[in-house]
């Protein structure tokens, strides 16, 4: 679960950097979208690099989901009767990791239908990612779905990054504060980066 989570975080860092190219106009953003389909050429055929990235990401998502289910079942078997008093020290992100994961999983399906297959994008133009992003965030529901999902992603990363460090043996008593700070900064930066795109469209900064 820790390894698959870190793979997805690495993807999110790369993804948000690409998304922020929308602020440089349609020419640069559409060129970025075209590059995604040609990366690796001429060693790789057209879109092979993109499909390799998709397969790796899909594998990480499935591994993460299966691991979450297995850990949840193990948790239930270890403690079939709930505690009388719940720990109040647990953070909001910790308590909502499972629901956050469900929200993110549902969002991934929506996101693919919206900006990859263009199935639910009412004004989609194949080969015009900039225009499709603007079309998505010109609708109230597109903004609500995306922003809620990105907040869930931020909370998930905040707890998940630190947990992964503990699982992989990176954390210890002296590094805990630094790792928690890094988790907070990473979660905040990614959330702000992703949310800035729909906000920019809503306010007319990107149009």
Q: In this predicted model, what pLDDT tens digit does every residue of 170-198 receive, in sequence order? A: 767 777 888 889 999 999 999 999 999 99
pLDDT tens sequence across 126-163:
889 999 999 999 999 999 999 999 999 999 998 888 88
How high is the pLDDT of residue 190? Answer: 97
Per residue, the 3-state secondary structure of 124-169, as one string, reads CCCCCHHHHHHHHCCCHHHHHHHHHHHHHHHHHHHHHHHHHHHHCC
Per-residue model confidence (pLDDT) at position 51: 95
What is the model's pLDDT at position 88?
53
Please report the pLDDT score of residue 18 as a whole number: 96
Residue 73, pLDDT > 60, answer yes
Q: Is the pLDDT of residue 91 over 70?
A: no
Tokens 């930066």 map to which residue? 189
The arithmetic mean of pLDDT across residues 64-93, rounded, is: 70
Between residues 60 and 72, the one the model is more confident about: 60
pLDDT band at 90 (very low <50, low <70, confident <90, very high): low
Whether residue 114 is predicted with pLDDT greater than 90 in this model: the reply is: yes
Query: pLDDT value at position 47?
Result: 94
* Gap between the Cα atoms of 200 and 207, Å rounded: 8
Answering whether pTM is above 0.85, one says yes
CA distance 126 to 129: 8
């Amino acid at each position: 679960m820790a390894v698959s989570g870190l793979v997805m975080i690495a993807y999110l860092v790369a993804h948000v950097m690409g998304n922020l190219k929308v602020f440089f106009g349609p020419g640069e953003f559409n060129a970025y979208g075209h590059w995604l389909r040609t990366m690796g050429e001429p060693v790789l055929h057209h879109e092979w690099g993109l499909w390799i990235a998709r397969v790796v990401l899909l594998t990480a998502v499935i591994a993460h989901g299966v691991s979450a289910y297995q850990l949840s079942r193990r948790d239930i078997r270890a403690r079939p009767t709930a505690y009388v008093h719940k720990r109040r020290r647990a953070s909001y992100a910790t308590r909502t990791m499972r629901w956050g994961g469900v929200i993110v999983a549902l969002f991934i399906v929506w996101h693919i239908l919206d900006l990859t297959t263009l199935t639910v994008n009412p004004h989609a133009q194949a080969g015009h990612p900039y225009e499709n992003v603007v079309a998505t965030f010109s609708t109230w529901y597109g903004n609500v779905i995306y922003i809620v999902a990105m907040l869930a992603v931020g909370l998930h990363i905040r707890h998940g990054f630190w947990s992964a460090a503990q699982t992989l043996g990176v954390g210890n008593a002296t590094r805990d504060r630094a790792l928690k700070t890094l988790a907070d900064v990473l979660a905040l930066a990614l959330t702000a980066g992703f949310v800035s795109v729909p906000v920019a469209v809503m306010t007319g900064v990107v149009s």
